[in-house]
Amino acid sequence: MIQIYDTKQNKVLNVARIEKSDAEWEKLLTQKQYEITTKKGTEAPGTCTFDQIHELGIFRCVRCDTDLFLSATKFESGTGWPSFYEPVSPLNVVEQPDRSLGRVRTEVLCARCGSHLGHVFDDGPPPTGKRYCMNGFALRFMPEDKG
């Protein structure tokens, strides 16, 4: 069991970690989602339509539906990838060193299912100075319930 912050209930929940084989994930996801979330790929910049989303809502993990980022924390970074200055909770993401591409970066994973989401950098706006540069294919957007 791990702890995850649930935005709808506004509290921390104890939930089971989701573990599936690569073959299981491949059956559940589109090829692009699988390549990015399971094989640590990336999408071409500008291919995600999340830049056009300006309404309130939440970005969730495409694999396990864990709450990851509030739309209110999204900003235009000019990189071509959805960027946020903070996750909904540090409980919901895991940050770890990534030494691929011949340099050290900080990879961001979903804490519940281990999905590769993207990377975080120290060149974001206030109040955190962070830029969570995420792959749009690793996320799904849920508009705020107006009811």
pLDDT digits (tens, 9 = 90+) for 28-38: 999 999 999 99
pLDDT of residue 14 exceeding 80:
yes
pLDDT of residue 147: 47
- Number of structural domains (the chain) is 1
Please tell me which residue in 64, 110, 113, 133 is annotated as part of the active site: 133
Confidence of residue 101 (pLDDT cuts 50, 70, 90): confident
pTM of the entire structure?
0.93
Q: Pick the residue with more confidence: 90 or 103?
A: 90
Q: Are 141 and 59 contacting, i.e. CB atoms less than 8 angstroms apart?
A: yes
pLDDT of residue 69 exceeding 50:
yes
Q: Pick the residue with more confidence: 83 or 50?
A: 83
- 61 catalytic residue (yes or no): no
pLDDT of residue 111 exceeding 90:
yes
pLDDT of residue 56: 93
d(Cα 16, Cα 29) in Å, to the nearest integer?
A: 20
Tell me the torsion sign for CA atoms 75, 99, 3, 38.
Answer: positive
Domain hosting 115: range is 2-143
pLDDT of residue 23: 96
Find the mean pLDDT for residues 112-131. Answer: 97
CATH of the domain at 80: 2.170.150.20
Find the mean pLDDT for residues 54-63. Answer: 94
Over pLDDT 90: what percentage of the chain? 83
pLDDT of residue 49: 76
Q: Are 45 and 122 contacting, i.e. CB atoms less than 8 angstroms apart?
A: no
Most confident of the ranges 36-50, 98-112, 122-136: 122-136
